[in-house]
């Protein structure tokens, strides 16, 4: 149980004062540079999960709202990231009450990208009234709206947002044809005519659909511009699949009767047999998807990136991946992707801005050459995204990857993403969905890397802080907003539910973040740097910088006196999860340290890679090195 305050005089924990921010910022930048974290630092947050004003909450957040961009500014002060990464932004297909970003259109943008508040402004011809915007707000009446986004109100045909946008469309049609908005619209239609014109099952009014696509594209571009003005890149997530409408529109691009990726995902496979033929529909459709991503974003993360190197085409009805279902494409297709992106971005585009998700098992994809620790050629110089969730002596840390001979610029390390078990759960010894206790195998390497006692790492808060510190030893890093806020709930619950893929940043995000820092599970980047400095002896080499890092570490964790408040008890899912983990924690504490640290196997011993996109089934995969 926790206590929820109902006082109007709320305070939050110790945050930076205005006279401290400049010194904090300089200390953080110098600390990261000294520690070696000088590449990309990506803050992963679905843009729909951005915070909103409570009295203007339509059910989702927007980067173009004042609250959304203020949040980015606030978090950037504390974490100094240079990338904001969204989840796939296509039109999401509804499954019962479940809306998943990875079950979305690959070409068309979803209505969630449209910020209706912008349509009230003169820039958009005032095609929406304040009263109509308020109607969308008033329709967001779910009891748990402060914790979860409202997909039903905003993301599908017939939603309140959709009905309101129809009113805006009628006013749009009456605007002067020479207005800037109409000119921009015609230009967008001309440039995107090829993919805009095919029919869509739930979009009966083709012209209204085009209007919404125009707005979604324009608003996404405005959000990207706001980030770019701050020196931040926007990274898009290029999902592996296509919507049913897109399959129907380009039937010859697919190998019907075959799944791609894991059979359980039930994703119709592109025709990888002919995808290298420039005249094939498969080649043309994939090129279109990649180039739309290149137009919309500064960076691209390729979902199931290994499927562009060794695609899997498994016949329907076969429930496991067989070698004869794999097609070895080598460098050819990913080289094409490089070229397609440069056709949009220009020859000087840095290909390190293309990131491939390649966490997968040997049954699906082998990342090493046969009988060798050496990476296969297509991966050597491409950026690969990994997490330290599955850390052991041979994997899941910058230290392990560098010992394998990888270049520091060719991988990004994080504490997890939307798919992974939350760091707080791992720190408390809660088993993952397959029963694995990831904490066990990671204690020994984590202690070695950071020069911390294995005994100390059994403590959940020390462990969580150390995992953040391990991430900070990498050249490129990424972190998910749920871990940053010290949350124990899963974002991807790996089941069809009305809360899956819906968690959001609280209205009072400053208090929530400061509470997480004070509690110890939130991402205190100065604490992480202090641990890195201490492990590398930089506390002695750079004593002045180290003392500043320690000062700000303590400031961020400091708690101000609370004002007495009238309180009422409510249930807290985070504490329920931790209470349920007591049994696992007691096992860890009662066993000798060799158990807590895990038993090392033979050379290149086994380790579990959990990967699932919630594409139907939830069976974990395995990978061995």
Residue 8 has pLDDT above 80, yes or no: no
The band of 261, judged by pLDDT with boundaries at 50, 70 and 90, is confident
Unique residue bearing structure tokens 């000088």: 38
Q: What phi and psi, each to the nearest 5 degrees, are found at residue 95?
A: -125, 105
Q: List residues bridging with 107 in a β-sheet.
A: none
pLDDT digits (tens, 9 = 90+) for 24-34: 999 999 999 99
The band of 360, judged by pLDDT with boundaries at 50, 70 and 90, is confident
Give CA–CA dist 444/279, Å, rounded: 53
Q: What phi and psi, each to the nearest 5 degrees, are found at residue 298?
A: -85, -30
Q: Which one of 3.30.590.20, 3.20.20.80, 3.40.50.150, 3.40.50.10140 gives the CATH number of domain 37-529+593-624? A: 3.20.20.80
Give CA–CA dist 275/79, Å, rounded: 41
pLDDT of residue 13: 52
DSSP string, 532-577: HHHHHTHHHHSHHHHHHHHHHHHHHH--PPPPP--EEEE--HHHHH
Residue 2 has pLDDT above 50, yes or no: no
Give CA–CA dist 290/304, Å, rounded: 14
Nearest to 411 by CA among 401, 403, 420, 400: 401
281 sits in the region (left: phi over 0; alpha: psi -120 to 50; else beta) called alpha
109 sits in the region (left: phi over 0; alpha: psi -120 to 50; else beta) called beta
pLDDT digits (tens, 9 = 90+) for 440-490: 999 999 999 999 999 999 999 999 999 999 999 999 999 999 999 999 999
pLDDT digits (tens, 9 = 90+) for 521-538: 999 999 999 999 999 999
Dihedral sign for Cα atoms in the order 411, 417, 423, 425:
negative
Residue 292 has pLDDT above 90, yes or no: yes
More confident residue, 619 or 160: 160
Q: What residues have CB less than 8 Å from 221, skipping those under 6 apart?
A: 296
The band of 562, judged by pLDDT with boundaries at 50, 70 and 90, is low
pLDDT digits (tens, 9 = 90+) for 389-428: 999 999 999 999 999 999 999 999 999 999 999 999 999 9
Q: Give yes or no for a contact between 97 and 234, defined as CB atoms under 8 angstroms apart.
A: no
Q: Give yes or no for a contact between 553 and 4, defined as CB atoms under 8 angstroms apart.
A: no
Q: What residues have CB less than 8 Å from 219, skipping those under 6 apart?
A: 62, 64, 113, 114, 115, 118
Give CA–CA dist 519/489, Å, rounded: 16
Give CA–CA dist 130/120, Å, rounded: 6
pLDDT digits (tens, 9 = 90+) for 9-66: 343 457 899 999 999 999 999 999 999 999 999 999 999 999 999 999 999 999 999 9
Least confident of 313-327, 432-446, 481-495: 313-327
pLDDT digits (tens, 9 = 90+) for 161-179: 999 999 999 999 999 999 9
């Amino acid at each position: 149980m926790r206590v929820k305050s109902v006082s109007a005089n709320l305070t939050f924990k110790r945050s930076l004062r205005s006279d401290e921010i400049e010194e904090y910022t300089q200390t953080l930048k110098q600390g990261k540079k000294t520690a070696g974290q000088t590449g990309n630092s990506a803050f992963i947050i679905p843009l729909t999960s951005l915070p909103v004003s409570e009295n203007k909450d339509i059910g989702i957040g927007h980067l173009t709202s004042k609250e959304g961009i203020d949040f980015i500014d606030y978090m950037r002060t504390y974490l100094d990231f240079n990338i904001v990464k969204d989840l796939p932004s296509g039109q999401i297909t509804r499954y019962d009450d479940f809306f998943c970003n990875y079950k979305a259109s690959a070409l068309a943008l979803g209505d969630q990208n449209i910020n209706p508040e912008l349509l009230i402004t003169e820039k958009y011809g005032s095609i929406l009234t304040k009263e109509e915007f308020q109607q969308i707000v008033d329709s967001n009446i779910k009891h748990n709206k402060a914790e979860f986004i409202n997909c039903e109100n905003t993301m599908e045909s017939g939603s309140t947002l959709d009905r309101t946008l129809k009113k805006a469309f009628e006013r749009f049609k009456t605007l002067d044809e020479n207005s800037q908005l109409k000119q921009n619209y015609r230009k967008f239609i001309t440039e995107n005519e090829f993919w805009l014109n095919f029919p869509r099952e739930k979009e009966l009014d083709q012209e209204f659909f085009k209007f919404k696509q125009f707005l979604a594209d324009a608003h996404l571009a405005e959000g990207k511009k706001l980030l770019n003005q701050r020196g931040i890149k926007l990274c898009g997530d290029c999902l592996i699949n296509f919507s049913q409408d897109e399959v129907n529109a380009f039937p010859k691009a697919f190998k019907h009767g075959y799944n791609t990726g894991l059979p359980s995902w039930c994703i119709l496979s592109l025709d990888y047999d002919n995808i290298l033929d420039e005249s094939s529909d498969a080649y043309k459709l994939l090129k279109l998807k990649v180039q739309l991503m290149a137009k919309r974003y500064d960076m691209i993360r390729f979902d199931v990136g290994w499927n562009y190197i060794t695609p899997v085409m498994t016949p329907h009805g076969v429930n496991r991946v067989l070698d004869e279902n794999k097609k070895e494409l080598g460098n050819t297709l990913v080289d094409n992707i490089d070229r397609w992106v440069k056709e949009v971005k220009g020859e000087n585009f840095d290909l390190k801005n293309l990131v491939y998700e390649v966490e997968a098992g040997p049954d699906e994809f082998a990342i090493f050459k046969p009988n060798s620790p050496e990476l296969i050629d297509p991966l050597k110089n491409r950026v690969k995204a990994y997490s330290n969730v599955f850390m052991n002596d041979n994997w899941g840390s910058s230290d392990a990857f560098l010992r394998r001979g990888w270049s520091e610029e060719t991988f990004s390390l994080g504490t997890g993403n939307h798919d992974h078990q939350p760091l707080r759960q791992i720190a408390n010894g809660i088993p993952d969905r397959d029963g694995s206790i990831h904490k066990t195998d990671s204690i020994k390497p984590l202690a070695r890397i950071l020069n911390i006692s294995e005994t100390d790492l059994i403590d959940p808060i020390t462990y969580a802080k150390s995992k953040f510190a391990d991430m900070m030893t990498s050249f490129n890093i990424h972190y998910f907003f749920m871990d940053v806020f010290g949350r124990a709930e899963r974002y991807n619950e790996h089941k069809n539910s009305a809360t899956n893929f819906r968690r959001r940043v609280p209205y009072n995000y400053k208090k929530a973040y400061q509470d997480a820092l004070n509690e110890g599970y939130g991402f205190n980047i100065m604490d992480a740097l202090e641990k890195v400095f201490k492990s590398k002896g930089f506390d002695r080499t750079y004593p002045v910088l180290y003392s500043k890092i320690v000062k700000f570490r303590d400031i961020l964790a400091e708690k101000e006196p609370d004002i007495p408040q009238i309180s009422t008890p409510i249930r807290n899912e985070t504490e329920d999860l931790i209470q349920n983990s007591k049994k696992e924690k007691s096992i860890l504490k009662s066993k000798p340290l060799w158990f807590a640290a895990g038993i090392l196997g033979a050379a290149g011993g086994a380790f579990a890679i959990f990967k699932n996109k919630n594409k139907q089934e939830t069976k974990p995969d395995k990978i061995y090195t």
